[in-house]
Structure 1
Amino acid sequence: MRIAVIPARGGSKRIPRKNIRSFCGKPIIAYSIEAAQASGLFDDVVVSTDDDEIAEAARQLGATAPFVRPAEISDDHTGTNAVVKHAIGWFIERGHDVTHACCIYATAPLIQATFLRDGYAALAASNAAFVFSVTSYAFPIQRALRMTSAGRVDPFHPEHRMTRSQDLEPAYHDAGQFYWGTAAAFLEDVPVFSERSIGIVLPRHLVQDIDTIEDWEQAEYMFRAINRR
């Protein structure tokens, strides 16, 4: 059995009701649910929430919300691994053989089903514990600068002052969309950011972290531009 787990607690502070706030005409969580459904990979698309309104919205969008997420894994400090681990355990306790799970963030409106399929294919074809979305930095990280207390600039890596950009190693960061893993890896708390993981590279125009209202507006601009093409 393969499950998608979409964490969506009700207590978002920086953007109130963030997980079901309207994004370009529909609750933002709808895009994650729809991508999971369109991928054709999952036996169940589960929204893990502590909030009745979010649970009802999830059901109306075609996902399931079969349990109330416990309070001890519903605060600001709970990592997503604990949420996925709880969901896997819930299914196992009811006699289901969960082999793989994919954590999909509720606020990932640019997510594409094709990359979910690429992620699962990479995981199934390897001995990796996890496969997750990454994207490249737009500028070489070796040219990063710090600001001193006097307002002057100071290179983090002065040895690369004169290195040509094309000679610098590309760098990537977590794209914050999806995290495929074997059920065993989630249950055993294997670190996601390690040599046991594979990165699926997304184009930068499909990646936008959403933590502030400014981020939200930027993501809507990107979404509209992509869908006008």
Structure 2
Amino acid sequence: MLAIITARGGSKGLPGKNIKDLCGKPMIVYTIEAALDSGVVDKVVVSSDCEKILKVCSAYDVELHKRPAELATDDASSLDVIKDVLLAYSYNGAVCLLQPTSPLRNSTHLREAFERFSVGKFSSLVSVVRTNEPAQKVLVVNDHGVAEPLTCWEDLTLPRQSLSPTYQINGAIYLFYSDRFMEGMNIFTSPLYAYPMPENVSHDVDTIHDFEIIERALK
């Protein structure tokens, strides 16, 4: 399996977050180590526009891919970044997209997710965390303030215990096949498996507050 780690240099929420020191090592290193130690990844490619990030990653057994400038903007799609790597390496097979902003995801999570993905013959997999409140209670509000239920009106008044549990994507693990991705330019294809992860390891770093939460968890 090919693991693609996407690490853009620019970040408005927390500048330099991908290589910010997290309990003694750059944050991106946690993701590199998870991939290398998983036993299910054959090659790790770090795609970045930032020389500092690539230099940090050069100390590890990974391939360094300098992405084109047009794929380093705020509007650049991660799908185009994935396509760029797949074409550059002429790769065909299972792919794992790993974001360095999920440093609490470890090799065990990755190995377990891959085993479920391959044994179950799923087309794609995404890691999720259970929502604290059922999504059936969510309202969709338009520009005029008019609200509609996300599911149906009845769900809004049903006891929470009677509703099916709902999950949200936590951003830690995405698994898919390169050929199906290239056909539809989508990492989500049916049948999609939802790999559940505990809430305490599902934190994603976007702000300094997120970073401090993870720092306390690691300590």
- In the superposition, the TM-score normalised over structure 2's length comes to 0.87
Return 5+ residue gaps in structure 1 as ranges.
148-153, 225-229
Structure 1 partner of 2:144: none
Instruction: Please state how far the C-alpha of 1:192 moved relative to its aligned partner.
Output: 3.3
1:66-85 matched pairs, under 5 angstroms: 67-85=65-83
1:143 equivalenced with 2:137 (yes/no): yes
> SS where residue 175 of structure 1 aligns?
strand
Residues 40-93 of structure 1: CA deviation (Å, up to 9, x unaligned): 11221111011111111011133221x31011211112222221221111111x
Q: How many angstroms apart in 1 are the aligned matches of 2:33 and 2:200?
A: 20
TM, length-normalised to structure 1: 0.83
Alignment counterpart, residue 159 of structure 1, candidates 123, 142, 154: 154
The amino acid that maps onto 2:72 is S
Conservation of the 8 A alpha-carbon contact between 1:130 and 1:185: no
| Number of positions where the alignment pairs a residue of Structure 1 with one of Structure 2 | 212
Q: Does structure 2 retain, via aligned residues, the 8 Å contact 1:6–1:104?
A: yes
| Mapped partners of 1:50, 1:88: distance in 2 | 16
2:171 match: 176
8 Å Cα contact 2:124-2:190 kept in structure 1: no
The aligned amino acid for 1:69 is R
Residues in 2 aligned to 1:116 and 1:13: alpha-carbon distance in whole angstroms? 28
Residue 102 (structure 1) shift: 0.6
Q: Deviation per CA, 1:7-31: give whole Å up to 9, x if none.
A: 0111112211111011122100011
**1:56 partner amino acid:** K
State the one-letter code of the partner of 1:212: T
C-alpha displacement of 1:145: 6.7
The CA distance in 2 between the partners of 1:146 and 1:91, in whole Å, is: 42
Q: Structure 2 unaligned runs (5+)?
A: 142-146
Counterpart amino acid of residue 39 in structure 1: S
Provide runs of 4+ in structure 1 moved above 6 Å.
Answer: none
**RMSD of aligned Cα (Å):** 2.2
Match of 2:106 in 1: 112
Residues 102-129 of structure 1 show CA distances to partners (whole Å, capped at 9, x for unaligned) of 1100111110212212222233234433
Change (3 A) 1:132 1:160: closer
Q: CA deviation at 1:195?
A: 3.5
Q: Which moved more, 1:25-34 or 1:195-204?
A: 195-204
CA distance in 1, matches of 2:50, 2:92: 25
